[in-house]
Amino acid sequence: MKDLDWGNLGFAYQKTDYRFVARYKDGAWDEGRLTTDESITMNESACVLQYAQTCFEGLKAYRTKDGHIVCFRPDLNAARMADSCRRMIMPVFPEDKFVDAVVQTVRANADWVPPFGSGATLYVRPFMFGADPILGVKPANEFEFRIFCTPVGPYFKGGVKPLTVRISDYDRAAPRGTGHIKAGLNYAMSLYAIVDAHEQGYDENMYPDAGTRTYLEETGGANILLITKDGKVVTPKSDSILPSITRRSLMFVAKEYLGLEVEERKVRIDELDQFAECGLCGTAAVISPVGKIVDHGREICYGMDKMGPITEKLYKTLVGIQMGEIEAPEGWIKRID
Ligand code: PLP
Ligand code: COI
C-alpha cells in the first residue's frame, strides 16, 4: 500500500500508476489496454476540444473490513454511460467490457486503494471523448474511452458538517436537454454558478427546473433527499436530473433495510420548509447533510450542528453495505481482489 496521509485527503486528482485506454476507429473498439502514460495527445480540432463531445462516470472502490477490494454497482455506471453515449452520438463501450475495464484498472492500482476505516476511497473516473479533427458541427469519427483512478477524501471540505446552499438564479439543464446524462457540457454550464456561489459564501447551488423555476431538481454534482417531519424519504422527480446510483440505492435501503416510506415526486421550492432534514447524495458526496437553504432571502433551516437522525441512519447503512460490514443486496458489490 502507498504511504499517503489517507485520513487527510481532499477530493483532488493525484496521478496513480495505471489507466485503461481503448480506441474506436473505423467503426469498432479495440481491446483496450492498461498504460502508465497519463497524457493524451490529440489534434487541435478534436471534436471534444471544439464542441465538447464527451461524457463521464464516477464510482468508487473500497477496501472492506476483511481486506478485500470491491466496487459498488459498476454495472449501473456502465448502463448510464451507455445512455450518455447514445445521447451524445458516441459509440457505446460494451457494458460488460466497461465493468471488466474498471476491474482491471482498480486491480492494477490496488496499492492506491485506501485502508479500511481511513475515511478515504479510490475514486474511479471512466470517460469518453470525440478524438479526431472535425470542423463543421458534427460528431467525431474516432473516440477514446479511458479510466483513471485517484484516492480521495470527502467531496465537501469539513466532511459531514452541514452545508449551506442557495437556490440558484442560473440554470443547469434545459427541459428536453442533457440534464439526465453525464455529459461534460452540463458541468461546464455549472462552473460560473459554482464560482459565484462560493464567492457569496455558499457550498453549492440547488437548481430549480429551468422551465418553470417552481420545482427543485438537483445540485451541480448530487441528487437531493428530503425527510418529512413524519420520517418519509422524498426525492425530486424530473426528466432533467441525473439518475443518481447513490440515490436509487438509498431509496432501496430506506424502504427495505430501514422500513421507511419512500416517495419520488415533484417537490416545490416553496414547500422546502415543510421538511425536517435534507441531504445531497452522490458517489462523491455520499450523503452530505444540508443545514440551510437560502432562497433569495428566505432561509430554510434544518440545523447546522449535525446530520439529521434519519439522514445519519441512511448514511451509516449505505456506507456499511459499501464497506462490507452490512450484508448487501444481491449484485451490489463487485469483488475485485
Ligand atoms: N447529479 C449529478 C449532476 C452528478 O454529477 C452526480 C455524480 O455522479 C450525481 C447526481 C450522483 O450520481 P451518482 O450517485 O450516480 O454518483
Ligand atoms: C460523482 O459523484 O461521481 C460526480 O461525478 C460528482 C462530481 C465530482 C462531478
pLDDT in tens, 290-328: 999 999 999 999 999 999 999 999 999 999 999 999 999
Q: Is 221 in the pocket of ligand 1 (CB under 6 A)?
A: yes
As a whole number, mean pLDDT of residues 126-149 equals 98
Angle at alpha carbon of residue 279, lines to 276 and 281, rounded to 5°: 150
Q: Known catalytic residue: 182?
A: yes
Q: Is 288 in the pocket of ligand 2 (CB under 6 A)?
A: no
- pLDDT (tens digit, 9 = 90+) per residue, 224-248? 999 999 999 999 999 999 999 999 9
| Predicted confidence (pLDDT) at residue 159 exceeds the cutoff of 80 | no
- Give 193's pLDDT tier (boundaries 50, 70, 90): very high
What pLDDT was estimated at residue 156? 85
Q: Which of 59, 242, 318 to mutate to test the pocket of ligand 1 (most atoms within 8 A of CB)?
A: 242
Q: Is 150 in the pocket of ligand 2 (CB under 6 A)?
A: no
> Ligand 2 atom 6: the closest Cα is on which residue?
221
Among candidate residues 279, 319, 335, the one with its CA nearest the CA of residue 302: 279
* Cα 27 to averaged position of ligand 1 atoms, centre (Å): 30
> Ligand 2 atom 3: the closest Cα is on which residue?
58
Answer CATH for 6-152 from 3.40.50.300, 3.30.470.10, 3.40.50.880, 3.40.50.150: 3.30.470.10
| Predicted confidence (pLDDT) at residue 158 exceeds the cutoff of 90 | no
User: What is the third-level CATH fold of 163-322?
Assistant: D-amino Acid Aminotransferase; Chain A, domain 2 (3.20.10)
CATH 3.30.470.10 residue ranges in the chain?
6-152
For residue 221, the ligand 2 atom closest to its alpha carbon is 6
| Predicted confidence (pLDDT) at residue 82 exceeds the cutoff of 90 | yes
User: Cβ of 85: how many Cβ atoms within 10 Å?
Assistant: 19
CA distances, 210 to each of 171, 214, 306 (Å): 6, 9, 31
Ligand at minimal distance from the CA of 281 is 1
**Cα separation of 80 and 86, whole Å?**
10
**Cα separation of 78 and 308, whole Å?**
33
**Cα separation of 183 and 119, whole Å?**
29
What pLDDT was estimated at residue 160? 78
Paired with 61 in beta bridges are 71, 122
* Cα 327 to averaged position of ligand 2 atoms, centre (Å): 26
Q: Which residue has the cell 436530473?
A: 241
Q: Is 246 in the pocket of ligand 1 (CB under 6 A)?
A: yes
Q: Which of 65, 138, 182, 313 is catalytic?
A: 182
Ligand at minimal distance from the CA of 123 is 2
* Cα 265 to averaged position of ligand 2 atoms, centre (Å): 23
| Predicted confidence (pLDDT) at residue 28 exceeds the cutoff of 90 | yes
* Cα 247 to averaged position of ligand 2 atoms, centre (Å): 13
| Predicted confidence (pLDDT) at residue 100 exceeds the cutoff of 80 | yes
What would the 3-class secondary structure string for the chain be? Answer: CCCCCHHHCCCCCCCCCCEEEEEEECCEECCCEEECCCCCCCCCCEHHHHHCCEEECCEEEEECCCCCEEEECHHHHHHHHHHHHHHCCCCCCCHHHHHHHHHHHHHHCHHHCCCCCCCCEEEEEEEEEECCECCCCCCCCCEEEEEEEEEECCCCCCCCCCEEEEECCCCCCCCCCCCCCCEHHHHHHHHHHHHHHHHCCCCEEEEECCCCCCEEEEECCCEEEEEECCCCEEEECCCCCCCCHHHHHHHHHHHHCCCCCEEEECCEHHHHHHEEEEEEEECCCEEEEEEEEEECCEEEECCCCCCCHHHHHHHHHHHHHHCCCCCCCCCCEEECC
* Cα 27 to averaged position of ligand 2 atoms, centre (Å): 30
| Predicted confidence (pLDDT) at residue 288 exceeds the cutoff of 80 | yes
Listed in sequence order, the residues at least 6 apart from 251 whose beta carbon sits closer than 8 Å to its beta carbon are: 233, 235, 262, 264
User: Cβ of 335: how many Cβ atoms within 10 Å?
Assistant: 11
Lowest mean pLDDT among 31-40, 156-165, 281-290: 156-165
* Cα 183 to averaged position of ligand 2 atoms, centre (Å): 12
- pLDDT (tens digit, 9 = 90+) per residue, 16-26? 999 999 999 99
What pLDDT was estimated at residue 212? 97
Q: Is 291 in the pocket of ligand 2 (CB under 6 A)?
A: no
> Ligand 1 atom 9: the closest Cα is on which residue?
222
Listed in sequence order, the residues at least 6 apart from 217 whose beta carbon sits closer than 8 Å to its beta carbon are: 172, 173, 179, 206, 207, 208, 209, 224, 236, 238, 240, 241
CB 94 within 8 A of CB 63: no
- Give 129's pLDDT tier (boundaries 50, 70, 90): very high
Polymer length of the chain:
337
Listed in sequence order, the residues at least 6 apart from 26 whose beta carbon sits closer than 8 Å to its beta carbon are: none
What pLDDT was estimated at residue 71? 97
The one-letter code for the residue type at 172 is: R
The one-letter code for the residue type at 262 is: V
CA distances, 262 to each of 54, 302, 320 (Å): 34, 19, 20
